Amino acid sequence: MGGKAEDAGIIEKVIQIKRVTKVTKGGKKMSFTALVVVGDSKGRVGFNLAKGAEVSLAIKKAMNTARKNMVQVNLKGSTIPHEIIGECGASRVLLKPAAKGTGVIAAGPVRAICDGAGIHDILSKCHRSNNPVNVIKATFDGLSRLKKTIPAPAAEEPTVESPKG
């Protein structure tokens, strides 16, 4: 839904902007919320939801906080090491590793996180609620619980000893 900007290798993507209202004794006070995802395409990604009196202030505040709260995601090449399900509230997101060349098969918020993290091949499915805030939190839940891949030990070749004599 939003724009994309790059500076110093950081990808910034605005997912959602909403106008919210606080009703007080003196009337209604309008403000804006911005949901933002940032990443460096090398496995670090973060998100934030921030409020501001104007749209630009909300976006700027969300971007700054998201950059401070970036987390490292365990990757296996251009995909994730194993299948995992992330949950938040009523949202459930299934993330599956995909073969090289498959691409990112994901909904809007999940796609933004994958682009920010540098995941190029992944399959995903959002179940139950598709609220963007909860979908992003569920995706982060899944990505943060990914285990590192441990390379399999190399098979040892049997050695044949020559008989002494």
Q: CA–CA separation, 57 vs 42, rounded Å?
A: 28
Give the model's pLDDT for residue 162. Answer: 67
Residue 164, pLDDT > 60, answer yes
Q: What is the pLDDT of residues 44-63, one digit of tens each?
A: 999 999 999 999 999 999 99
Give the model's pLDDT for residue 2. Answer: 52
Task: Read off the pLDDT of each residue in 22-27 and give the average, rounded to a whole number.
Answer: 95
| Averaged pLDDT of the chain | 90
Write the CATH number of the domain with boundaries 74-144.
3.30.230.10
Give the model's pLDDT for residue 155. Answer: 59
Domain borders along the chain are 4-71, 74-144
Give the model's pLDDT for residue 150. Answer: 60
Give the model's pLDDT for residue 133. Answer: 96
Give the model's pLDDT for residue 101. Answer: 94
Lowest mean pLDDT among 30-34, 107-111, 131-135, 149-153: 149-153
Residue 1, pLDDT > 60, answer no
Q: What is the pLDDT of residues 64-81, one digit of tens each?
A: 999 999 999 999 999 999
Fold of 4-71: Double Stranded RNA Binding Domain (3.30.160)
Q: What is the pLDDT of residues 112-125, one digit of tens each?
A: 999 999 999 999 99
